[in-house]
A and B are shown apart, each in its own frame.
Chain A
Amino acid sequence: MVTAIMSGYALSLAAPAVHRVVRRWSGWIIALLPAGLFAYFLSLVGRVAGGEVIVASYEWFPSLGYNLTFYFDGLSLLFALIVTGIGTLVIVYAGSYLAGDPWLGRFYAIVLIFMASMLGVVIADNLIALFVFWELTSISSYLLIGYKFDKAASRAAALQALLVTGGGGLALLAGLLLLGLISGSWEISALFGEAEAIQAHHLYLPALLLILAGAFTKSAQFPFHFWLPGAMEAPAPVSAYLHSATMVKAGVFLLARLSPALGGTDEWTALVTSAGAVTMFLGGFLAWKQTDLKRILAYSTVSTLGTLVLLLGIGSSIAVKGAAVLLLAHAMYKGSLFLMAGGLDHETGTRDITAMGGLARSMPVSMLAASLAALSMAGLPPLVGFISKEVLYEATLEDAVWPALITAVAVAGNVFVVAAAGLVAIKPFWGEWVETPKHPHEGPVGLWLGPVLLAGLGLFVGLAPGVVSHDLIAPAASAVLQKETTVKLALWHGINPMLVLSVITVGLGVAAYVWRERLGNRLNILDPGSRFGPARIYQEAVDGLPRFATAVTSVLQSGYLRLYLTTIVVVTVGLVGFTLASRVDAGGMWRTPDVRIYEILVAGMILAGALGVTLMRSRMASVAALGTVGYGIALLYVLFSAPDLAMTQFAIETLTVLLFVFVIYRLPKYATLTSRRDRVRDAVVALLAGAMMTTLVLIVTAEPLRSRLTPYFAENSLPLGKGRNIVNVILVDFRAFDTLGEITVLSVAAIGVYALMKLRLGQAGDEES
């Protein structure tokens, strides 16, 4: 099982090289892998249909419970066959469709990564492993939508798809984590038995909402449906594969997979059903309004995805069966139509259905495939689409909550889909001949093989539904329902309500097709989203975000050092001050000061010096004032009997002042750049900082110092350190390591001064040394 997935990744690494070697036939060669996998999965049909679940597990991240575990049941089988089957056809098709394209090798590579990841999604048992594959499909989708990366529209569409599905992905991650934490297990198969406990948990609803957000964004449910039509910037094989047959169904898959654990509650039914119903209707309506071939197909895909979600929301046995049939039918007809649309685009140079007509004569094979597929899409007998629509109506009519409403919405959505099918299959091929940018003729076999095969398969399954009902549909439905299910599909059930609804649907659909032009704008009211909708919100957000970010950043990162310093000081005063005020009993600081008069004098001198530095108008005077502060501190050392420190301080102060004087001599006078208000503000900040520090020190010194170190140093300085001056022994022995560091600092400073004076790059001369 893991080999099936990994082979895709492995071949993806080699694909560009393979392509370089065999060029002309690269599509056929590379398609051998998905074809082989398809055959492999086909060989498992017997076992899976017999009720067996094939499991495999590999340790990956055992300490947190994230392992590569696989659970291959009927649902996985149905998806795996679609993924590899369509994958084969799409790769063959791409070999012709993109023949001669310089990036074709990279294209294969990414498509194979996608295929492998998609297989991972549908086979994974571990929640986190599933998520890993899930995200990889999003990334490969991003790279494929942006395949024509030199076009701005492609890049924007790729980003849109990535942000919408990626954002949903993050919600999904949180949801899956919650689910894992609620249930205490990371294996999906272990969740099935825990449904009651999970649904009774107080985190059930948040987890459900988050997981639904992930599923809905991926499967383009309203209000996240807008990214899918945008994704049509991708080349046709990508649209057919990712954005119709497989990746967009990952959300549907997830709902199906988790429904035994999460489904059946009122919340589930309400949320999933309503999202599905709205999407189904809106997708159909919007498809009907388009003139771009691929956008028609994209919106009708949205409609189908809505239908699938709706069916899973209903969740009854018949609904789940209906979803499985529709999944299969849709993969066949929509895959065929997308590939056919790509062929038309390739041959005529346009995708606008109003700019084509009468192509049936020059492209008869495409016409045939398109007709068959469109009939299936419209739900006409004897195609598989008809069967799936019958089951859909059966499911909506049996809905436990609002059968009439749901059925009405389903019919309305399908009416438009029928009309859209007409647009796709009739407009380009029939009617009057329209001159197109390129002269059209039937393309090479690679271009029509896929559409014909898929459309033909749709006819075959429609005529002989027995081939799939027991082997594919029933196992898939059983997997979702978690109980043994039998499925009987047939074209003819006699005259029943479903048939009547089908007839009504097709009748209204034909009407919608015929009166499309006339009705067109009057029905805009059905789509208020076109002006204020989610697509607009997305665009505003993406455009507005950098503006907002710039605004925030220009406040924070103003470029003024003094504002930075002010902020830092204010934060310090605020945090330390607040903590002191709220947590420390400051009683001790109000003790009678035990100071002598000359200490007060020295303190006064320091204060005056500090004040002087800030007030003086000449640099020279400021430096002198600064010197006063330094000397004052040195005097304090003297008063507190630390003569050696005082000596050092005196020397340093004198030197500093002298150095300053030499440097400042060359500098211009002070200029006042700040306003009075700024200076008052700065003064307040400075005073607050001083007050805070003073308070802190006063509180701390209320308690006597209890150093453990001083006695030890005093005692051992002479006997062990061989020195009478304790400070010296501390510096060169007890804490010599500090001194080593400080020496390094001085050496580096010396190098720095030398280099800064000597080396000046990027000005006038290149370098003067």
Chain B
Amino acid sequence: MNGLLILPILIPLMTAIALVLAWNHRAIQRRISVAGALILFLAAIGLLTSVSSDGIAVVQIGDWPAPFGITLVADLFSAIMVTMTGLMGLAVAVYSLSSMDAPRESFGYYPLFHVLLMGVNGAFLTGDMFNLYVWFEVMLIASFVLMALGGERVQLEGAIKYVTINLVSSALFLTAIGILYSVAGTLNMADLAQRLNSGDVDPGMVTALSMMFLIAFGIKAAVFPLFFWLPASYHTPPVAVTAIFSGLLTKVGVYSLIRVFTLIFLRDVDYTHTLILVIAGFTMVTGVLGAVAQTGFRRLLSFHIVSQIGYLLMGLGLFTELALAGTVFFMVHVIIAKSALFLVSGAVYQIAGTYDLKKLGGLYKSHVGLSMMFLFPALSLAGIPPLSGFWAKLTLVRAGLETEEYAIVAVALGVSILTLFSMMKIWAEAFWKDRPESDEAASDGLPELRTSRAWLALVAPIIALGALTIVLGIAAEPFFVLARDAARQLLDPASYIQAVLGGTP
């Protein structure tokens, strides 16, 4: 059973190696990539099934007992995140078949893509602080090259900001690990949880250290006021890259925050989690304001990523079972809905040749199907019932009201209406409005949608994700129960520690 635990890291690694071996054969690479993503997705579902029936899964790599070697751990939250990675990987791998250009395909797009998935899964599964850092590095290098691949001027400009700020985050993270090690003498997360919450470590020091992790992960998660790299870079690479980034990268940051602030840093919850709540509020507001200010389809969506991160942190800040369940549910929802929107923006770009809302228009007349594929995830993101985003926000708001944190509830609801405002702006501008006359030929020099098969590869992932946000909304119960069980595990560090350290003294 525990072999499943290594598969989500191993499969993309093997896929990437196979892809590199097929370097000069683009057609073969395309097949390998989709096959690898499919197998990964199936393995992830297998892991999720196994964890939800048998409880937390643990593997000690190389059979070195914890806390001396490296431990892989999958609780429900991890397994859910790995499943989402598998889903996004598959969706974007298929989407890439039609949206990625041949030169980038020839220069390592697919291997990089799968290395990215490997890094993301590694981060979700590791139970070791330094190993987490290593997976962050894997993600960072893969994402940096993906972002810069193609070498367009805007890409490089975005990529430089991206990599510089993320390196600062890595440096902080590494420093924090170093200091943490000298305080606790261990790197295993379960062991850290035990040590730092025992009497012989100064709680103030633990809290001070937690601040470093808050900032290092906060940069990755793109929270206020550390999110600069995201809006500066996400609109520059090809849209498939943006979609997979938006689905996974910031989410790893949020995942890490949730992991350390439910497992390890619990000495001064009043201070740390209230701080997180404040950050959550500001992240929501500044993110959505950024979105309102944009007129580019992708830039607008990029700022919304930031805003939604605020909601994810809101659940962590409230720190109750319902709130964390809300965060987990929200995570699943936002990964699906936001990626669907990015994929739609790419399809729109292929049709109209621009991301500029001022130049777009008339799509509701010409492409009803695509319009619906936009409308559902967009309304879902704005929290309109009965779509997935509604239940996600409802749960968080209810959790906020139950804990009497009225300020954050007001912010969450207010930001909702602004989200609706900016989603409807895209709708009115790109879909409803007539296309303004422009002198330049629209789709000049763009990859034409040659065959209906190409179109299918483009829309099938969008339809699948769009359908999921509807299913997640109309049949929310089973997904919510899963999220709640995940939240229960998160609030019970003892079972995590027991699962990891169980047999060792």
Contacts and interface: CB of A to CB of B under 8 A. Distances in A.
A767 interface: yes
B211 A755 contact: no
Interface of A: 59-64, 106, 128, 131-132, 135-136, 139, 142, 146, 149-150, 152, 155, 158-159, 162-163, 166-167, 170-171, 173-174, 177-178, 181, 545-546, 548-550, 552-554, 556-557, 559, 561, 564-565, 567-568, 571-572, 575-576, 579-580, 582-585, 693, 696-697, 699-701, 703, 705-709, 712-713, 716, 733-738, 741-742, 744-745, 747-749, 751-752, 754-756, 758-763, 767, 769
B434 A759 contact: no
Contacts of A177: 394, 397-398, 401
A567 B223 CA distance: 13
Contacts of B168: 565, 568
8 contacts: A61-B476, A146-B432, A549-B293, A552-B286, A561-B160, A571-B226, A583-B203, A756-B149
Q: Which DSSP category, helix, strand, loop or mixed, fits chain A's interface?
A: helix
A714 to B, nearest CB: 11
A553 B290 contact: yes
A59 B418 CA distance: 32
Interface stretch (B242-250, B337-345, B420-428): B420-428
A256 to B, nearest CB: 22
Given A64-B395, A135-B385, A762-B150, A751 B182 contact: no
Max chain B Cβ within 10 angstroms of own Cβ: one of A174, A178, A741, A742 = A741
Contacts of A559: 232
Nearest to B109: A755
B109 to A, nearest CB: 9
A762 B153 contact: yes
B447 interface: no
Nearest to B13: A744
B189 to A, nearest CB: 14
Contacts of A572: 172, 211-212, 215
B161 A738 contact: no
Given A139-B384, A553-B286, A735-B131, 7 more contacts: A155-B428, A554-B293, A559-B232, A707-B181, A734-B69, A737-B134, A761-B101
B231 to A, nearest CB: 6
A65 to B, nearest CB: 10
B186 A709 contact: yes
A733 B150 CA distance: 38
Given A132-B386, A559-B232, A761-B150, A170 B413 contact: yes
B138 A741 contact: yes
Contacts of B172: 572
A132 B385 contact: yes
A568 B219 contact: yes
A742 B134 contact: yes
A734 B181 contact: no
B289 A748 contact: no
B187 A174 contact: no
Contact of B151 (A162, A552, A564, A761): A761
Contacts of A545: 292, 418, 421
B398 to A, nearest CB: 5
A550 B395 contact: no
A207 to B, nearest CB: 10
Contact of B204 (A167, A575, A584): A584
A584 B186 contact: no
B183 interface: yes
B211 A741 contact: no
Interface in B121-170: 122, 130-131, 134-135, 137-138, 141-142, 144-145, 148-153, 160-161, 164-165, 168
B207 A741 contact: no
A561 B208 contact: no
Nearest to B434: A150
B158 to A, nearest CB: 11
Contacts, number: 285
B193 to A, nearest CB: 14
Contact of B205 (A158, A159, A162, A584): A584
B179 A696 contact: yes
Contact of A181 (B290, B402, B428): B402
B103 A761 contact: yes
B292 A173 contact: no
A693 B481 contact: no
Contacts of B118: 744
A241 B293 CA distance: 36
B268 interface: yes
Interface of B: 13, 20, 61-62, 64, 67-70, 101, 103-104, 106-108, 111-112, 115, 118-119, 122, 130-131, 134-135, 137-138, 141-142, 144-145, 148-153, 160-161, 164-165, 168, 172, 175, 179, 181-183, 185-187, 191, 202-205, 207-208, 211-212, 214-215, 219, 225-226, 228-229, 231-232, 268, 271, 275, 286, 289-293, 303, 364-365, 368, 379, 384-386, 390-391, 394-395, 397-398, 401-402, 409, 413-414, 416-418, 420-421, 424, 428, 432-434, 476-477, 480-481, 484
Given A568-B219, A575-B211, A734-B68, A752 B481 contact: no
Nearest to A207: B401
A755 B292 contact: no
A641 B13 CA distance: 37
Contacts of A580: 204, 208
A756 B148 contact: yes
B290 A557 contact: yes
A766 to B, nearest CB: 8
Most chain B CB neighbours (cut-off 10 Å) among A146, A166, A178, A758: A166
B420 A565 contact: no
A737 B62 contact: yes
Which of A178, A565, A752 has the most chain B CB atoms closer than 10 A to its own CB? Answer: A752
Contact of A556 (B13, B149, B286, B291): B286
A685 B148 CA distance: 30
Contact of B420 (A163, A181, A583): A163
A583 B70 contact: no
A738 B131 contact: yes
Contacts of B183: 700, 703
Contacts of B115: 744, 748
The 8 closest A-B pairs by CB, nearest first: A583-B204, A752-B145, A741-B134, A762-B152, A149-B432, A549-B292, A132-B385, A549-B293
A564 B131 contact: no
A755 B149 contact: yes
Contacts of A742: 134, 137
Contacts of B432: 146, 149-150, 155
A579 B208 contact: yes
A180 B100 CA distance: 50
Contact of B165 (A548, A564, A579, A751): A564
A582 B271 CA distance: 11
A705 B185 CA distance: 7
Contact of A752 (B141, B182, B477): B141
A748 B142 contact: yes
A561 B145 contact: no
A64 B433 contact: no
Nearest to A578: B211
B72 to A, nearest CB: 8
A554 B10 CA distance: 43
Contacts of A576: 208, 211-212, 215
B397 A584 contact: no
Contact of B179 (A557, A700, A747, A761): A700
A257 to B, nearest CB: 18
B119, B165, B208 pick with most chain A CB within 10 angstroms:
B208
B153 A763 contact: yes
A693 B385 contact: no
B480 A61 contact: yes
Contacts of A762: 150-153
B186 A748 contact: no
Nearest to B108: A751
A712 B188 CA distance: 14
A660 to B, nearest CB: 17
A583 B62 contact: no
